[in-house]
Amino acid sequence: FKVVTKEGQTSVGVTGIGLESSVELVQQDLKMAGDVTLTRVEVPGVGSIEGLTSPFTYAAGQLAFPKISGKFHKGELAGKASIDFDKTQDLPLEISMEGRGVDVDLLLKAFGNSGDQLTGSLNADGTFTIPLTRPRELTGGGSFALEKGQAKLLE
């Protein structure tokens, strides 16, 4: 499936969804818990995350993914995320992630760079809020470090 912006542009594409869950409904109070696996999550202009997995819970309008893991440009991703469905104006997605060993050359090529100007492994962490109704208006920040890197000067 794809998540499409109001302008009709794909903001995220997902391939291969696996879901195991339990559902409890007591006096119109819905609670869910389980595990989810996404074979591939494609973010245009950024690249794809492979083998994304996490347990999840849903209760009182809150969907939480407390232990996310996956592969991104030959590196490892780990973190957590949550969505507050009670805030329907924005549908804020809160993400705290870290990446280790991400191939910088592959990442830059995904952003449209010709490649080979910067090589090495990227380690990064960050916390972001993305309003799902306006995904390009993300806020947040973090840090990154380049290991075993090399930069080529442009001529």
pLDDT digits over 48-64, tens only? Answer: 899 999 999 999 889 99
Q: What share of the chain is helix, strand, coil (3-state, %, to 5)?
A: 5, 70, 25
d(C-alpha 16, C-alpha 130), whole Å: 23
Quote the strand ranges of 1-155, DSSP E: 2-4, 10-26, 29-43, 47-59, 62-72, 75-84, 92-103, 118-131, 139-151
Banded pLDDT at 2 (limits 50, 70, 90): low
* Partner residues linked to 32 by β-bridges: 23, 58
pLDDT digits over 83-140, tens only? Answer: 988 887 778 889 999 999 999 888 888 888 766 778 899 999 999 998 877 777 889 9
Give me the pLDDT at residue 110, please: 83
What token pair was written down for 37?
């696996």
